[in-house]
Structure 1
Amino acid sequence: MAEEAPAQPAGNGAQFAPRMQILAQYVRDLSFENVLVQKGVGQSEIQPDMQVAVSLDARKRSAENQYDVILKFKVANRNKVTNDVLFLLELEYGGTFHIEGVPDDQLHPYLLIECPRMLFPFVRRIISDVTRDGGFPPLNVDTVDFLTLYRQELARRAQASAAQPTPQPN
């Protein structure tokens, strides 16, 4: 399964548009625990409260211009009344990408914004299927704004580094 971004023709000094090709997609880790059935909680006592956490990881592969991008989703469904866990789902979904034409200073955001956008529809389908097959209504995860997620992570890192004391010269 390969998808590519269209390249612009080269002209007098014209730059090529970024080129992305998905070389592989895969489930790296998947866990689903139906706590509701294990505990035998009655259906009438349930008011579900869904919490979804998303994190991303990207790393360079040994092959030139190839990168692995991993989307990590953790979904916890709790009962609002008792705060008991109804189900837990953890999914790590990866893609191997061949990327050309992206300047080095823009590669990090490209890997953590554009690549996850390409993988997200597959993650959404897997989560929907697993929750349905696990005995719950299918969960259609809301679209993730990977740009906002990236900016929040940069702000968190900047805040954490600002909170660290700077060494004073002697």
Structure 2
Amino acid sequence: MTENGTPTPQPQPQIQPKMQVLAQFVRDMSFENILAQKGLNSGEVTPEMTVQVSLDARKRPVEGQYEVTAKFKVASNNKADGAALFLLELDYGGIFAIEGVPNDQIHPYLLIECPRMLFPFIRRIVFDVTRDGGFPPVNLDTVDFLALYRNELVRRAEAQKAQSPIV
């Protein structure tokens, strides 16, 4: 009660977001050991790595369920001449049940929080496949999915601005 006898308003409890990983799976994977195909001696190379990441999310027919796919492209080239050593392409998906996330926040949630949940499994697959392919295992650095999301928003805004006719 307040001093004037009116009841003290109680703060409304905030609904906490709830996420459940229903399934995760390799949608597509390809590993090309170009070094072995060319028959080069691995002592002749100094590897240089590039990693590209893209994300996709879509609503599933079941209410509150979403599918998120993280696509990783890991390439290794010889630093001296740029010759390709290996190429690993991995599309890794997860199906999530999500509750308590406002509609205006679901897009960033799907493209930031869901990939964070998938990333340790992706890292392990990349590690194992590169090792089993005859190379030193690649241990991916942690991906900043928030920065990736922000960069994509900026890229889309610039692309839309470039397409807009000047009045």
Residue 6 (structure 2) aligns with: none
Residue 160 (structure 1) aligns with: 159
- Give the aligned residue type for 1:97: F
Residue 142 (structure 1) aligns with: 141
RMSD of the alignment, in Å? 1.2
SS at match of 2:138: coil
**Pairwise mapping of residues 113-132 of structure 1 onto structure 2 (< 5 A)?**
113-132=112-131
Shift, 1:166, TM fit: 2.5
| C-alpha separation in 2, matches of 1:52 and 1:85 | 14
**Pairwise mapping of residues 24-103 of structure 1 onto structure 2 (< 5 A)?**
24-103=23-102
| C-alpha separation in 1, matches of 2:155 and 2:63 | 31
Larger Rg: 2
Identity within the alignment, %: 66
Q: Which runs of 4+ in 1 moved over 6 A?
A: none
Gaps of 5+ in 2: 1-9
Residue 20 (structure 2) aligns with: 21
- Give the aligned residue type for 2:127: S
- Give the aligned residue type for 1:121: P
CA offset digits 1:111-160 (Å, max 9, x no partner): 00000000000000000000000000110000000000000000000000
SS at match of 2:130: helix
| C-alpha separation in 1, matches of 2:57 and 2:51 | 20
Shift, 1:15, TM fit: 1.9
